[in-house]
């Protein structure tokens, strides 16, 4: 298959690039905004036609939650309108969405059929993207994920390693619960969808297994990275003074993905260990 990967300079896009080496039977076209701006309808159409693209994996997005609040129009263009453009090409699409489509007020893991209620501009634009995609391409696969980190790009794991080395004390929120997800595992899940003998359209939830707070996550990062000189203190979200409200509980129920594709998913701590091993080279 000829596969177009958009947003390939990002965390997930880079992990797709790494994993593509193990799936050499396909031809890959890795692009980011410089090679292919997904908001440019004509450019997308021309790229798909000229390269005989049969499947689009959309890793491109406007992911800065605070900036999206200030510039929802741009976020909407990239996270929604462009996703509609990708869906209108008459080819298969795998798209990535987010736990931010939910309110974060839940107390049990969210299923794909649970009502959405985004509380942020980022969440609203991502949900619009899901709707526009399914309107254009009902056979699309949408994977909602959360708390993504990777050896590539800037993310929570790298920030906590840096702060752990710089500071003697650090306050980290303990009233936001979710599941850290190694982008390499999400890339693996995307290849599971691609290699499935039957195309199984639909919305799925995918994160690593387990749950924790950002505070617990930080303790694990420091422990596994061998950082001992920084005292990590649990704080409440209101003490941190976020510009944009964050979901208090955004655990996703992955039963549908595991059952449909017959896979097991690693626990977040095991995946964190693998990520840190790769980071340390």
Ligand X SMILES: NC(=O)c1ccc[n+]([C@@H]2O[C@H](COP(=O)([O-])OP(=O)(O)OC[C@H]3O[C@@H](n4cnc5c(N)ncnc54)[C@H](OP(=O)(O)O)[C@@H]3O)[C@@H](O)[C@H]2O)c1
C-beta of 114: minimal distance to ligand X in Å?
A: 16
DSSP secondary structure of 193-227 = HHH-SS---EEEE---BS-EEHHHHHHHHHHHTT-
Question: Rounded to whole angstroms, how far apart are CA atoms 50 and 205?
Answer: 33
Nearer to ligand X, 7 or 104 (CB): 7
Q: Are strands 181-182 and 231-235 parallel, antiparallel or unpaired?
A: unpaired
Beta bridge partners of 96: 143
Nearer to ligand X, 163 or 187 (CB): 187
The length of the chain in residues reads 281
Closest-approach residue to ligand X (CB) = 10
Question: Rounded to whole angstroms, how far apart are CA atoms 133 and 88?
Answer: 8
C-beta of 55: minimal distance to ligand X in Å?
A: 16
3-state secondary structure of 96: strand
Q: Is 122 a catalytic residue?
A: yes
3-state secondary structure of 103: coil
* φ, ψ of residue 225 in degrees (nearest 5): -90, 0
Nearer to ligand X, 6 or 89 (CB): 6
Rounded to a whole number of angstroms, the CA Rg of the chain reads 18
Nearer to ligand X, 143 or 232 (CB): 143
The encoded tokens of residue 261 equal 């594709």
Q: Are 84 and 133 in contact (CB under 8 A)?
A: yes
Q: Are 250 and 109 in contact (CB under 8 A)?
A: no
C-beta of 270: minimal distance to ligand X in Å?
A: 19
Nearer to ligand X, 174 or 207 (CB): 207
The encoded tokens of residue 146 equal 């959360």
Q: Which of 28, 62, 122, 182 is catalytic?
A: 122
Question: Rounded to whole angstroms, how far apart are CA atoms 202 and 65?
Answer: 25
Site residues for ligand X per CB under 6 A: 6-7, 9-13, 32-33, 37-39, 59-61, 63, 78, 82, 96, 98, 126, 145-148, 153, 183
Nearer to ligand X, 76 or 96 (CB): 96
Torsion, Cα 173 244 111 98, to 10 degrees, reads -110
Residue with tokens 């708390």: 147
Active site amino acids = 122
């Amino acid at each position: 298959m000829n596969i177009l990967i958009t947003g390939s300079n990002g965390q997930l896009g880079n992990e797709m690039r790494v994993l593509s080496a193990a799936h050499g039977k396909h031809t890959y076209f890795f692009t980011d905004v410089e090679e292919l701006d997904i908001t440019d309808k004509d450019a997308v159409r021309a790229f798909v036609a000229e390269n005989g693209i049969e499947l689009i994996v959309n890793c491109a997005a406007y992911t800065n939650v605070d900036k999206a609040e200030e510039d929802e129009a741009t976020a909407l263009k990239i996270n929604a309108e462009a996703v509609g453009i990708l869906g209108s090409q008459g080819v298969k699409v795998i798209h990535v969405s987010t736990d931010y489509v939910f309110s974060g007020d839940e107390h049990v893991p969210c299923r794909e059929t649970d009502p959405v209620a985004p509380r942020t501009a980022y969440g609203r634009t991502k949900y619009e993207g899901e709707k526009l995609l399914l309107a254009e391409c009902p056979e699309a696969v949408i994977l909602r994920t959360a708390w993504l980190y990777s050896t590539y790009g800037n993310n929570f794991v790298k920030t906590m390693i840096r702060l752990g080395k710089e500071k003697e004390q650090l306050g980290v929120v303990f009233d936001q619960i979710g599941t850290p997800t190694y982008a390499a595992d999400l890339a693996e899940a995307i290849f599971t969808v691609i290699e499935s003998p039957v195309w199984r359209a639909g919305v799925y939830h995918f994160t690593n297994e387990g749950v924790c707070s950002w505070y617990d996550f930080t303790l694990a990062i420091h422990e596994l990275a061998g950082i001992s000189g920084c005292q990590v203190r649990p704080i409440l979200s209101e003490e941190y003074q976020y510009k944009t409200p964050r979901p208090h509980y955004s655990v996703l129920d992955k039963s549908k993905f595991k059952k449909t594709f017959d896979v097991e998913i690693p626990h977040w701590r095991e995946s964190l260990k693998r990520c840190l091993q790769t980071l340390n080279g």
